[in-house]
Amino acid sequence: MQIAIGLYPGLTMLDAIGPYQVFTNTPGVDVVVCAAERGRLSDDNGLLHLDIEHTFDEVTSPDVTLVPGGFVTRRLARDRDPIVGWLADTHARTTFTTSVCTGALLLGAAGLLDGLDATTHWCAYDELASYGARPTEQRVVRQGKIWTAAGVSAGIDLALTLVAELFGPEMSQAVQLGIEYDPQPPFDSGSPSKADPAIVELVRAVSDAQVDPADVA
């Protein structure tokens, strides 16, 4: 079982690393990390770096693909970045095609979400809808072989749900225990429906400030 995590410069690292941790702790899973080019790839803060050893051209028939989000996804989607073509091409052969956070915008740009329920980071619902998807506030949305997860940390939930689907609930529970995934946040403000409206507007303003206006033009 090969699970390919497709990356690009400027990704939000937890979107990829959370699922990576789940998948690499699952027996029988071969995880491959790939990008358009080999070499060093940096996250959206420019502080964390990955050494990419495989290109998209080398990973053509994975069983599962996963694409993380990042503030640059709007530009990558608009410009038809190589990752968009890779997602469209591999989708014909995958068992599951998945995204975390605004990685869903790349699935949309690949033409995979038209007419489907899907989720992404709540700040990107409008962009998601522009690809014909029906945005939903669910943490993980399953539409046939296409699965999408909400923002950032929801990637761990998606990965555990996927492991349960592929290997059974006991395996998923074992992996969950192994990584001690037992969230107990200090505040119940992890979604816009729960957070104080002032906090919602603050986060929206911060998010808007981090998106280059040219990326949504």
Which residue numbers are catalytic? 101
Compute the distance between CA of residue 106 and CA of residue 60 in angstroms, rounded to an integer.
17
Q: Strand, helix or coil at 19?
A: helix
Compute the distance between CA of residue 29 and CA of residue 88 in angstroms, rounded to an integer.
22
Compute the distance between CA of residue 96 and CA of residue 91 in angstroms, rounded to an integer.
8
**Which residue type does 150 have?**
A
Question: In 32-153, which residue ranges form alpha helices assigned H by DSSP?
Answer: 73-78, 82-91, 103-109, 125-129
Q: Classify each residue of 96-131 as buried b or exposed e, where b means 16 or more C-beta atoms within 10 Å of its C-beta.
A: bbbbbbbbbbbbbbbebbeebebbbbbbbbebbeeb
- C-beta separation of 122 from 146 below 8 A: no
Distance from chain centroid for Cα 101: 5
Angle between helices 154-167 and 169-178 (to 10 degrees): 140
